[in-house]
Each structure stands twice: as C-alpha cells, then as structure tokens.
Amino acid sequence: MFKSYHKILLSAVVMAAVTSTVACAGDKSVSHTYANGKKVIDGGVTYPSVDGKRAAYHVNDKASNGGFTFGRVPTDNEVKAWNIDVMPDGEGLPEGKGTVEEGDELYEAKCSSCHSDFGTGGAGYPALQKGNAYEGQKSLTNQRTTPDSDGPIRVFGTYWPRASTLWWYIKTGMPHPAPMSLTNDEVYAIVAYIISINELKIDGEELDDEYELDRAKFLKLVMPNKDGFEPNIDGPKGPDNARAYFNDFKNYGNGTRCMKNCFDGKPVLARITGAGISDYQPPISEKKDLPAKTDVADAPGQKTYESTCAVCHGTDTMGAPMVGNKKAWDAVLKKGIDQVYENGIKGINGMPPKGGSTLDDAKFKEVVDYMIGASK
C-alpha cells in the first residue's frame, strides 16, 4: 500500500471494498485460514455450504472435507532450485559485474525493441525512466483533482522502494522471448544502464559510461521511494508486520467492524472537477472525410505478411514492432534499412530467421518493405 497517497484520495469502489472486507472479518459464519497457527496475510477464509451449495455453486462436502495431502518434504537441492528470489538485504543476489556502456549495448540489442530508446516505453510496454528519479519521486503525492494537473510518475526510479526486484525480474523474466538467457554479468550491465538513465546515484556518485556495477555497489543503492509503502514487509518480521497492520482497521477503515451505518454521515470523497480536457494541443481534427484510397492493399509482400508475419507484427504484445506503429518502426529504421534486412534474414532476439518462412531474400525484403510502408 502506497503510504503517502492511500489516505488522501479514496474512491467509492475502494471504500466499498474495504467496508466489505471489514464486514467479512466479523462474520461468525466463516472460518479464517491459518498457517503455522497464524492468520494468513491475504485474509483467506472458508465459507460454509448451505444445501450443498456455496453461493450459486454446488459443492461436494464429502470430497472437500476429506483433508489434504501435502506430499513429501522437498530436498535441499529442490528448495535451492525453486528459491530464485533476490531480497533487499542481498540474499539470493549473486556475484557479477558490468559497466553502463556494456549495458547500453545489451539494452539496444535485447530490450529497446519493446521498451524503446533510453527506456522511454511505448507500444504497450512500460517506460523504465521519466527523467531524474529524485525529482520525479516528488510527484507521487500529486492528485489529479483538476483536468490539467499532473499525476504521479510511477516508473522504476521514482516508485519502486527497492532495486532488488529489478535485478531479479531481468534475470528471471527478460528478455521476454528468452527468459533466463542472460548471464549474471549481463544482468549487472543492463541494471547499471537502467540506474544511469534514471539519474540515480550510488554512494553519491552518478553512473557514467565507465561505471562498473557489482554486487557490493548494487546493495548500496538507496531508492528515492524506499519509505513510500506500508506496512514494512522486509526482513524476517515482515509477515508479522503485515498481519498487525491489516488487523488494525484504523489503518484503512474507521476502526469498527460493521455491516451498515459504518460512517457518521456520508464519506467525503475527492473528485475530479470540470468536464475533462478540452484544449488539446494540437487541436483534435473534426474532419469526417474518409481516408483517400491508396494502392497499399496491392503492395508486394502484403499477402505473405498477412499469412506469415502478422501473428507477431500485427499486435503490440509480442515484442515485435507492430505494423502501423510509426514510432516503433522509426526506432527500428535508425539502424539503416540494410541492417533491418539483415536482422530479419538472420533473425534477432525472439524472431527466427525470415520469421520462420522459406522465402528467398528478395521476397523477404518485399515483406519488410510492405511493413515499413504501412507504418508511415
């Protein structure tokens, strides 16, 4: 829960959800779920069946009351293979090293196709930076109560309280088409680059191209929003801190379990004023003319694109530049058309050579030309 925001602006939906949760917590007919003698943090409960049903769903009471078999105790090696998290205190973080310059080159090769140049994001993929993180962090208390007010900037540098998640996520989940393919040194290099474009400092030092990040230096990184969330879930007492926080309804309600008349009067909600944005720059076009007919439908390469390439390039969710997205293709074409041809013919990142087709080079280039032409 984000500390400096959650009590300031509470929507009607959240208010209803909190009231419902508090009501359920006081319901004598439910059985709270416990683990090792302690209530589970997520508030899980088991509801009784009535006439063989729970709500609108039938349930086999005989089968569901038969207990559970949890299997055998895992071996030490099995636990080690499963436990791949990187914790804020450094547990799970391996040794390694990489420079900002090396990370820049790796980012261009493996990350920019989705997250765009310099981590600016686009085409459905998140931005990794929005300028200086220390300045951006100040925006997190912003509320969009007027149409022209600026909202919070929520990217890695400004919003994340710990950097350990960045290392872990890149190592285990990126690049999207080939997770777990990066070496530890490559991950350190990419992390160093992302820290640098957020203009973060380590021990007061900005990260220039020659800066080499290693395990010891990474653990010294203090994020601007390190105290921005509650409760404190770090360390061995984290789960107990969370239980204590959520068991005290004053932290997110009015302190009283209730089913009705939960508030004196009506809740006061902050609402956005005005009728929305009207002064768009540049102004929105009011033309209703149909677009001019073009012969792009007869362009060489279109049929092959539709039958072979559209499965990846027809959407912005596959990591490939989407046909029609001018910004994405402009970024690709910065490498030069010859390099674009070569990357497509030989394959790049998650794309196999020629997209997995058996086209000769000339026909494949026609498909590339069609995609570029349809994206201008």
pLDDT, tens only, 167-210? 999 999 999 888 999 999 999 999 999 999 999 999 999 999 99
pLDDT in tens, 257-278: 666 766 666 666 655 555 455 6
Q: Poorest-confidence range of 8-17, 34-43, 286-295, 345-354?
A: 8-17
The count of other CB atoms within 10 Å of the CB of residue 86 is 21
Length of the chain: 376
Same domain, 90 and 209: yes
pLDDT of residue 23: 37
Is position 225 within any domain?
Answer: no
Is position 280 within any domain?
Answer: no
**3 state SS of 213:** strand
* Last residue of one domain, picked from the residues 153, 188, 218: 218
Residue 348: phi, psi to the nearest 5?
-150, 140
The CA distances from residue 143 to 16, 75, 266, in Å, are: 21, 50, 21
The CA distances from residue 226 to 12, 51, 161, 234, in Å, are: 29, 51, 4, 11
Is position 309 within any domain?
Answer: yes
Q: Is the pTM of this model over 0.75?
A: no
Same domain, 170 and 241: no
Is position 229 within any domain?
Answer: no
Same domain, 113 and 210: yes
Element (H or E) spanning 188, and its range? helix 184-197
How does residue 64 score in pLDDT terms, banded at 50, 70 and 90? low
Strand positions, DSSP E, the chain: 31-32, 34-35, 38-39, 45-46, 53-54, 57-58, 97-99, 201-202, 205-206, 212-214
pLDDT of residue 17: 33
pLDDT of residue 24: 41
Task: Reply yes or no on whether the pLDDT at 242 is more than 60.
Answer: yes
Task: Reply yes or no on whether the pLDDT at 12 is more than 60.
Answer: no
Which of 47-51, 112-116, 163-167, 338-342 has maximum average pLDDT? 163-167
Given the DSSP bridges, would you call strands 34-35 and 38-39 parallel, antiparallel or unpaired? Answer: antiparallel
Same domain, 115 and 26: no
Same domain, 124 and 208: yes
pLDDT of residue 134: 95
Same domain, 212 and 242: no
Same domain, 89 and 210: yes
Q: Poorest-confidence range of 15-24, 103-112, 243-252, 304-313?
A: 15-24
Domain holding 313, by residue range, is 296-373
The CA distances from residue 175 to 114, 171, 333, in Å, are: 9, 9, 21
Considering only residues 335 and 7, tell me which one the structure prediction assigns the higher pLDDT. 335
Task: Reply yes or no on whether the pLDDT at 373 is more than 70.
Answer: yes
pLDDT of residue 6: 37
Same domain, 208 and 242: no
Same domain, 16 and 94: no
Is position 226 within any domain?
Answer: no
Same domain, 139 and 174: yes
C-alpha angle 25-26-28 in degrees, rounded to nearest 5: 110
Same domain, 101 and 51: no
Same domain, 197 and 123: yes
Note whether 25 and 3 are within 8 A (CB).
no
How does residue 32 score in pLDDT terms, banded at 50, 70 and 90? low
Question: What's the number of domains the chain is made of?
Answer: 3
Positive/negative CA dihedral, 214, 215, 216, 222: positive
Is position 359 within any domain?
Answer: yes
The count of other CB atoms within 10 Å of the CB of residue 115 is 22
Which of 124-133, 179-188, 282-291 has maximum average pLDDT? 179-188
C-alpha angle 101-106-110 in degrees, rounded to nearest 5: 155
Is position 9 within any domain?
Answer: yes
**CATH for 350:** 1.10.760.10
Is position 276 within any domain?
Answer: no
Tokens linked to 127: 């931005």
* Average pLDDT of every residue of the chain: 79
